[in-house]
Amino acid sequence: MRRLRRISVAVALVLAFSLTQACTSTAAFKATSAAVTAVDLAMHGWGEWVHAGKSTPEQRATVEKAYGAYQAAIDVAEKATFAYYANAEKDPKALRAIMEAVTQAGISVIVVVNSFRTGVPPIPVPTAGG
């Protein structure tokens, strides 16, 4: 139960960061860091869950797919971040795109893991854009 609460807290944290922060580089960094931290926390819990023999092959495939999408979002975000710094004219929209790509993919991972561990189907997650 404590682990489930931890996942819920992680989702809440990522949402809070991504939905309420003004789009500055500091805010984008905080939101992206929160997403990376929360996904890492959720995935460590998932690893323990699988090791305990509580998952099915289908669930593992679903989590692998969601995590793959998250890693792809990290790729996009990394390229966008360094393009942002390379460009003399800083565009806040680029930061928002970075933040959204990572937080939305991260939340998807957390929600999928959470649904398998609680047995409750995932609920729609609001997008970072509102």
Residue keyed to tokens 């922060």:
21
Q: Which is nearer to another protein, 34 or 107 (CB)?
A: 34
Distance (Å, whole) CA 79 – CA 44: 26
Residue of 18, 19, 21, 36 that binds another protein (CB under 8 A)? 36
Q: Which of residues 45-84 bind another protein (CB under 8 A)?
A: 46-48, 50-53, 55, 60, 63-64, 66-68, 71, 74, 77-78, 81-82
Nearer Cβ to another protein (19/36)? 36
Q: Show the tokens assigned to 119.
A: 């047995």
Which is nearer to another protein, 78 or 91 (by Cβ)? Answer: 78
What CA–CA distance (Å, rounded) separates 82 from 84? 5
Q: Which helix (H) or strand (E) holds 123?
A: none
If binding is defined by CB under 8 A, does position 126 make contact with another protein?
A: no
Ranges within 80-109 binding another protein (CB under 8 A)? 81-82, 85, 102
Asked whether the CA dihedral 50, 128, 125, 16 is positive or negative, the reply is positive
b/e string for 3-38 if b means 16 or more Cβ within 10 A? beeebeebbebbbebbeebebeeebbeebbebbbeb
Which residues make up the interface to another protein (CB under 8 A)?
2, 5-6, 9-10, 12-13, 16, 24-26, 29-30, 32-34, 36-41, 43-44, 46-48, 50-53, 55, 60, 63-64, 66-68, 71, 74, 77-78, 81-82, 85, 102
